[in-house]
Homo-oligomer: A and B are copies of this chain.
Amino acid sequence: MTALHHHSHSHGHTPEQITRRLRRAGLRPTRQRVALAGLLFKRGDRHISAEILQEEAQAMRVPVSLATIYNTLHQFTEAGLLREVAVDGARTYFDTNVSDHHHFFVEGDNELIDIPDAVGLTEVPTPPEGMEITAVEVVVRVRRTDA
């Protein structure tokens, strides 16, 4: 078992469980937040953008405004339920896997894929004077081999 499967169903995803989880995180379990949390955490590890999440919400007949989508994604991130991954200049991705891991970024598809092995650095660099490390991000850019 790798770091990737850290939270495989340690919470569940019934409305009640989600509600409890939000409350634990200090967030009011509103209609929208419960619905979005349901979408985000129902499946396993996901890399989702605001736009995709809104599409999924609409498909589930839970219309949520984009503003609320963004609010929610950021609140969830602050609460430690999501991890923000900035790798593409354009879009921002939110990773439902908050454990320590890194990513492949598929150029062209603009898709993120978890790196299934624990990759580390040969040597953690010493930060400049007066600075402390907050995170180490490794992104391995890949592209489809033109078959």
How big is the A interface, by class?
35 or more
Q: Are B127 and A117 in contact (CB under 8 A)?
A: no
A138 proximal to B (CB < 8 A): yes
Q: Are B115 and A131 in contact (CB under 8 A)?
A: no
Residue among A102, A121, A124, A145 facing the most chain B CB atoms (10 A cut-off): A121
A147 proximal to B (CB < 8 A): yes
Q: List, in ascending order, chain B residues with CB within 8 A of A142's CB.
A: 127-128, 131-134
Q: List, in ascending order, chain B residues with CB within 8 A of A87's CB.
A: 86
Q: So how many copies of this chain end up in the complex?
A: 2
A130 proximal to B (CB < 8 A): yes
CA distance A106 to B122 in the complex (A): 22
CA distance A92 to B15 in the complex (A): 41
A135 proximal to B (CB < 8 A): yes
Closest CB of chain B to A79's CB: distance in Å?
19
Q: List, in ascending order, chain B residues with CB within 8 A of A135's CB.
A: 140-141
- For A122, give its contact among B104, B116, B119 (CB under 8 Å): B119
Q: List, in ascending order, chain B residues with CB within 8 A of A117's CB.
A: 123, 125
Q: Are B107 and A128 in contact (CB under 8 A)?
A: no
CA distance A141 to B85 in the complex (A): 12
